[in-house]
Chains A and B, each alone.
Chain A
Amino acid sequence: MVLVDRIQIELGAQEPWPKDVKLFQPYEVEQILLPDNANCLAVQAFLKMCNLDFQVEPRANAEAMSPSGKVPFIKAGAFVISELEPIVQFINNKGITLTDKLDPEMKSDMRAYMSLVHNVMEVAELYICWCDKETYNEVTSVRYGSIYPWPLNHIQNRVKRASVIKKLKVLGWYQKSMSEVFEEVENCCQALTDRLEGKDFFFGDKPTELDALVFGHLFTILTTPLPNSHIANTVRNYPVLINLVQRIEKDYFKRETKH
């Protein structure tokens, strides 16, 4: 089955980018959570950087519809692909890429930074949403449960929370205190700042998927109102990153937000 799927994706790759590509994600205003929003925004930014047309299609059950159980996912013709990396791969197969000027060493660097963002920023976001009591009670549980009727909302909140905690335990994050989590975020921001210093984008004057991913996470962290705003304040200490976020927002989303 996996092989068949893979062959089909390869075959589909030869076709040009279809006109009616849709990006499915949860409702932004009342439903989406911080980590999901970051990933959805990252994919949106990447598609815009590639100059590909798409439409955002909000769905309450986007998470269940996704083949991997994670948002966002795109539907291009008969193909349904979820998450940033497989989408990047799918688009690369069509001959569209942001990394053609990069040498192999830089490419592996980029992958390392991307996994750093996934393993620190995304996990920290999960931690804040599901393990910080205040955030969970005031934001996460209300938003995540909003699409379900009573009493399914309470059941689903518990189920989801248990699965996130399980994941955090495996990653060794559940035992961490809030200040340790912020320290990790700080280290990650510092590493990204060091890499970016003096350049427009991480790898020269053109954006890559790493820029899209960093933009997705930092923009969401900066603009999402949470009871505990410490994480946003941590990010604000890195003006180089803020500049990057503002630049991408202006160039690709044609709007400006003050951070």
Chain B
Amino acid sequence: MGTVYAKSEDAPTNLPTLPPQEPHAAHPSHKPESKEIFLDGVKARVDKIHVDGLARTKDDIIEDCIRDLFKATDFQDVLLKAHRARLKLDELGCFKNIAVFIDTSKGTGASPDGLEVTFNVTEYKRVTGGVTTQVGNNEGALLVGLRAPNIFGRGERVQVEYSHGSKRTTNFNMAFIKPMRGKYRPIFTTSVFQSNAEWPVSGYKELDRGLLFDFGFHSTSLIKHNIQWEATIRDLGVLSRNTSFEVREQAGLSLKSSLRHIISIDLRDDLIFPSAGSLLQITSEAAGLGGDVGYLKNEFYVQGNYSIAEDFVLQGTLSGGYMRGLTNDMKIGMSDKYYLGGPLSLRGFRMRGVGPHSDGDALGSLAFWSSGLHLFTPLPFRPGRGGFGDLFKTHLFITAGNIGDFKISDQNFLETLAANVRISYGLGIALRLGNMARVEVNYCFPHTFERGDQTHPGIQFGIGVQFT
């Protein structure tokens, strides 16, 4: 077990032994036994930082994480910065456990207001693994994973994951992840993957094998960027003899090479049932740098949450996407297109039930928009308040959207977006499933729909992370 001792760079300057705003530090009006102390009034500086329990983690990345702690000038600052340092250490993904101890500085070279901060860390073993469950896209999956964290001592890790979903989806993914030093917290990921998915509602199955390079960084502390390059060989197969011929015509192999930029700003206070804050995601993708798939694609997702009374949250979402082909001899695959409908998007319709169909198989479109207005309230009479009952919420919603091959160059573009809008509403119960998914059971009423849409009035069950 190695230990890093980081010492304050500059020699201690003569600090006053007593905090100057003494009257604030101890409030006289309070009872003597419960003293309120203003921590920001207590002068303090960090003399020494110990990090115990380091074996293969390199010193430089640890120093980057804890350096800020030396800049603290009062005790509150020390606490905040220690907490932040702890978060940064946790973000490295090298430690199973991090404990922080703060003590007064003793021994030679100790300054009068000096403190010693000790981080007690436990590193991960060389190889860890596990079997977990994963939820997404109205599907539950079993995930078997093997990880080699922190292989070269600077947070690099290799992970191998295999998941098997309840809807015959299988995924295999092997990734090498390298966090880098710097104020934008850059992280580089390269992965090889194979995924297999069946889409009975569209009559096809697809086997993807590919490579993904991802470079993620934060331009400010809240704005996250990902720049990705993906090369995938995709094999689209016909699911059954009854599959529509238009889907059959798409069968075969295609090679997609695309560049993608994703921005996400997440200011929400909770992932599953936020009560305040908003989320914005913008994805731009250009496919066609090699390969035979070519398109330009832009999409966004906005979610806003407003607390109108205690535990009454109004949530509004809006998402949209627009794509167009590059040239006539480049393809757009079925999995690249947009679909609308289902328990995660436009409720009251079947999965991919809105938009063009051929013999019952959803064909997808080049543009869509969808929006939802939700009111989450506690259960009536609040059974199990403060405990189990808080996992459930009553859910009232109205969703609207439209899909089609809209063109921005079209003169009445906005009118075509608004024409043939599909609307549905309903109510139900939403449930928090751990901190990973939201489950919804709704009774839906499709209100406005077109001929050819597959409606699903009545009870609809949805499970996932991102809902419209």
Contact = CB atoms under 8 A, between A and B. Distances in A.
Contacts of B240: 1
A198 interface: no
A230 to B, nearest CB: 33
A64 B237 contact: yes
Interface string A32-49: 000000000000000000
Contacts of A65: 238, 248-249, 251-252
A67 B237 CA distance: 10
Contacts of B290: 149-150
B249 to A, nearest CB: 6
The size class of the interface chain B forms with chain A is 10 to 19
Contacts of B238: 65, 67
Contact of A61 (B233, B241, B252, B255): B252
Interface residues of A, number: 18
A148 interface: yes
Interface of A is mostly: mixed
Interface string A57-69: 0011101110100
A247 interface: no
Nearest to B231: A151
B52 interface: no
A149 B249 CA distance: 19
A161 interface: no
B53 interface: no
Nearest to A64: B252
A65 to B, nearest CB: 5
B251 A152 contact: no
Nearest to B236: A64
Interface in A147-196: 148-150, 152, 155-156
A1 B245 CA distance: 18
Interface in B232-281: 233, 236-238, 240-241, 245, 248-249, 251-253, 255
26 contacts: A1-B240, A8-B241, A59-B249, A61-B249, A61-B251, A63-B252, A64-B237, A64-B251, A64-B252, A64-B253, A65-B238, A65-B248, A65-B249, A65-B251, A67-B238, A67-B241, A80-B241, A148-B253, A148-B292, A149-B291, A149-B292, A150-B290, A152-B253, A152-B255, A152-B292, A156-B253
Interface of A: 1, 5, 8, 59-61, 63-65, 67, 75, 80, 148-150, 152, 155-156
Given A59-B249, A65-B251, A75-B245, 19 more contacts: A1-B240, A1-B241, A8-B241, A61-B253, A63-B252, A64-B236, A64-B251, A64-B253, A65-B252, A67-B238, A80-B241, A80-B245, A148-B253, A148-B255, A148-B292, A150-B290, A152-B253, A152-B291, A155-B233
Interface of B: 233, 236-238, 240-241, 245, 248-249, 251-253, 255, 290-292
